[in-house]
Structure 1
Amino acid sequence: MTNNTASAAGAGAQLAVRYLLMQGGNKIGVYVLADDLCADPRLRDLTLHSIIELLGTQHADKLEVELPRVNRVALIRASSRPGIDVDYLSGEVNAGQASIDYSRSCANLLAGVAPFAIERGLVAISGDVTPVRIFMEGTGHVAVVQVPTCGAAVQYAEAPTSDAPHSVTALFIQFLQLAGSTCGALFPTGNAVDVIDGVAATCIDNGAPMVILRAKDVGCTGLETPQALSTNEVLRDRLEHIRMHAGLAMRLSEQDRKTLPRVCLLAASARGSPIVTRTFTANKWHPGISILGAATVAAACVLKGTIAVGRADLEDGDRRPIAIEYATGTYTIYISVQGGQIGDCGIARTVRWLFNGEVLVPIDQPAQRASTRTP
């Protein structure tokens, strides 16, 4: 931990933690330097809980847009790994739980890691576009983020998008070597198609373990809302049965099988996109799909032999965008195929700088409510 102890009137010693509140893609999170926090994991998590509790109530009235509950944190530090600029650990803060879930890396918050690293002096600007190589500690993935830095500064231009309607930076994120990152192989069962409970399925891991089914094979159109699907208990039980069997076949650990793999139904879109998805896991339907889940679906759509073959025409050596539609939006995944295997995957995301400040947390009672000051 760096020496960032401060005193406040009428209070004892306090830990001063600088932060940026940023919107990465469609997620809002608190970005902090890992070295500004206590090295002890328990005290670190208590401090982060205190920060999240404070920021969730203090900043909503100061912003021009409605601020949803903030429950995600991004811890960033300069990396000692060869060829890597910064290490990134993302966590989800759950109310009522002392610990923070660091088991997954949020690919939306990833978009803000590179601008944060530049703003905090961890990475030097290297021209009109500055590449930042990031190691995602939660998953072991490596991403390269291209940050626009014309004029020797991160460019926060006016470019309204559905993700961020006001001041944003448009970035391109390139994911390296996603195939088999959790299961050890792109097709963990050794097959492009398996039959589980009488249903043809593609079990695939291109950043996120997924079981991909044709919606029509389980009696759906694939265009139903998650709310409508949630009322179908027979379908829920059948998909959970398929999911559990697929998890064993994909050699996922008992802990991972609580939420993985996710089941994804594919269908033709009624809104112009070639691929529409509905995602299910652990007895729940989700309105969206993760970025790495979308990258996994895109891989199934461009590789030969899967149940999704033909939904996107991609020749060997090509790289092109694949639109993956979900219930509330669309991701566009840029994907390449080399020698019949997935090359790289990328996505354009936006970053919005919402708030820059400093939180003072009492060192002797890190869990109690903090006070804040803004530079």
Structure 2
Amino acid sequence: MYSLRGTWMRGGTSKCWLFSSVDVEPLIEQAGSLDEILVSAFGSGDPRQLDGVGGGSSTTSKAAIVSRSSEDGIDVDYLFAQVAIGDRKVEWGSNCGNCATAIGLYALQQGLVAIDPVTTIVRLRNRNTGAVLLTEIDTPGGVVPSEGSAQVAGTSALGVPVGLTFIDLGADRTRLLPTGSVEDTVELHGSQYRGTMVVAGAPAALFDASDLGMTGAGSNTELMERVPLLVELRRATALLMGLSRPEDAITHAVPKVGIIAPPVDYRLEDGTLVTAGEYDVCVRMLSMMAPHPSIGLTSAVAVAAAATVRGGVVDRVVDGAATSTLRLGTPAGVLAVDVDIDADGNLTSVTLHRAARRIATAELFVSAAATALSIG
């Protein structure tokens, strides 16, 4: 057994354990690997993550290793980990905007950056993908906030307001469209599924909901019935996008996969009515092996980027609506994303308004490796 210091943060609608690289690196040799540290700390291999700090869901089984950056123009580097729940493995191929929101506040609270007397901007680099993000937090008088009154769709919890901006997204059309097409058709079991595949925020494959026999505005219970098909589509598009090879092990973090549909009236789980006029495009996403309770921020960025691809699945729905703000209808409500589009119609940045809060600082006592547990 060994101990590991960590900070538990909520960013938006996710919870994330943040660890300083200074604390983690000396433990890697003892544990055998960074993956082993995380799966043991989280209690993975048990669907309940009973013997660790994991929350038993994809939005609460996340971690990041954070360090002050030595790169010019970058303040903080972080390595994001999507820690599996029932399996003892970690997926390193993606990013998490909600966790980045938390890291921006963490960087201030841990003294990783100088505090501005008005507003502090932190330049973050996601080491998994190379993406650069900016967080903006009000620090009047040079004081770092510990609490705030900001709220986001999907939770009633309050937190410190954080502006999160993804930059340098779509100027390179070759990078944005990895298959070279504005729309691809995937054939499975004799049926065809039309999708637009983009790399912005995270690699994502966005399919026309009607091809799956869905309105796109149904409940996550309805979407759960399509999870096996969506998992197959994710595997097929990973190959098309060059993210994996046929002989590679199947991964569940990327590409992000979801369905797109025109706005219709729908209700949230609490019965609140969301009318078609309140949003521009209906989105339902998969998170690992289950429907996402809201939408991941990297997925939101991907949808915004896909909206600029003329003739693609998202563009057919929004029809040029993404001029300054794009409103996404999600299972948790409407998420508004501010978009910056250049004169050529390319998306250059996306800003989301989020909230973050430090929940705890703790010393974790990490046990030796355990075997995976199957719950009957």
State the TM-score, normalizing by the size of structure 2: 0.76
Secondary structure of 1:37's match? helix
Secondary structure of 1:269's match? coil
Compute the displacement of 1:23 (Å). 0.7
Q: Which residue of 2 aligns with 1:177?
A: 168
Q: Which residue of 1 aligns with 2:96?
A: 106
Q: Which residue of 1 aligns with 2:241?
A: 250
Distance 1:280 1:105, change over 3 A: closer
Q: Which residue of 2 aligns with 1:159?
A: 149
Q: Which residue of 2 aligns with 1:134?
A: 124
Point out where structure 2 has 5 or more consecutive residues left out of the alignment.
Answer: 44-48, 266-273, 370-376
Compute the displacement of 1:80 (Å). 1.2
The superposition leaves residues 194-242 of structure 1 with CA deviations (integer Å, 9 ceiling, x where unpaired) of 3444444322222222332322244321122232244369xx54x5665
Q: Is the 8 A contact 1:291 1:331 kept in 2?
A: no
Q: Which residue of 1 aligns with 2:296?
A: 290
Point out where structure 1 has 5 or more consecutive residues left out of the alignment.
Answer: 1-12, 61-66, 369-375
Give the letter for the 2:217 counterpart.
L
State how far apart, in whole Å, the 2-side matches of 1:93 and 1:241 are.
21
1:214 aligns with 2:220: no
State how far apart, in whole Å, the 2-side matches of 1:184 and 1:310 are.
21
1:269 aligns with 2:237: no
Q: Is the 8 A contact 1:180 1:187 kept in 2?
A: no
Compute the displacement of 1:188 (Å). 1.6
1:324 aligns with 2:306: no
The superposition leaves residues 167-217 of structure 1 with CA deviations (integer Å, 9 ceiling, x where unpaired) of 521011111223499x96211221212344444432222222233232224
One of 329, 343, 346 as aligned partner of 2:351: 346
One of 67, 81, 101 as aligned partner of 1:91: 81
1:336 aligns with 2:340: yes
State the TM-score, normalizing by the size of structure 1: 0.76
The superposition leaves residues 92-136 of structure 1 with CA deviations (integer Å, 9 ceiling, x where unpaired) of 344575554333322211111122112222101022111101111
The superposition leaves residues 47-74 of structure 1 with CA deviations (integer Å, 9 ceiling, x where unpaired) of 5556546xx98999xxxxxx87753222
1:72 aligns with 2:62: yes
Q: Which residue of 2 aligns with 1:145?
A: 135
Give the letter for the 2:13 counterpart.
N
Q: Which residue of 2 aligns with 1:5?
A: none
Q: Which residue of 1 aligns with 2:360?
A: 355
State how far apart, in whole Å, the 2-side matches of 1:31 and 1:207 are.
20
Q: CA RMSD in A?
A: 3.6
1:39 aligns with 2:29: no
Secondary structure of 1:122's match? coil
State how far apart, in whole Å, the 1-side matches of 2:217 and 2:37 are.
43
Give the letter for the 2:205 counterpart.
V
Q: Is the 8 A contact 2:170 2:305 kept in 1?
A: no
Tell me which moved more, 101-110 or 255-264.
255-264
1:278 aligns with 2:312: no
Q: Which residue of 1 aligns with 2:198?
A: 204
Q: Which residue of 2 aligns with 1:299?
A: 305
Q: Is the 8 A contact 1:72 1:92 kept in 2?
A: yes
Distance 1:150 1:211, change over 3 A: same
Q: Is the 8 A contact 2:260 2:313 kept in 1?
A: no
Tell me which moved more, 78-87 or 326-335.
326-335
The 4+ residue runs of structure 1 with deviation greater than 6 A are 56-60
Compute the displacement of 1:40 (Å). 5.1
State how far apart, in whole Å, the 2-side matches of 1:353 and 1:240 are.
34
Q: Is the 8 A contact 2:133 2:164 kept in 1?
A: yes
State how far apart, in whole Å, the 2-side matches of 1:294 and 1:210 are.
10
Which entry has the higher C-alpha Rg, 1 or 2?
1
State how far apart, in whole Å, the 2-side matches of 1:257 and 1:99 are.
12
Give the letter for the 1:353 counterpart.
R
Q: Is the 8 A contact 1:146 1:172 kept in 2?
A: yes
Secondary structure of 1:350's match? strand
Secondary structure of 2:132's match? strand
One of 314, 325, 341 as aligned partner of 1:308: 314
Q: Which residue of 2 aligns with 1:228?
A: 222
Secondary structure of 1:39's match? helix
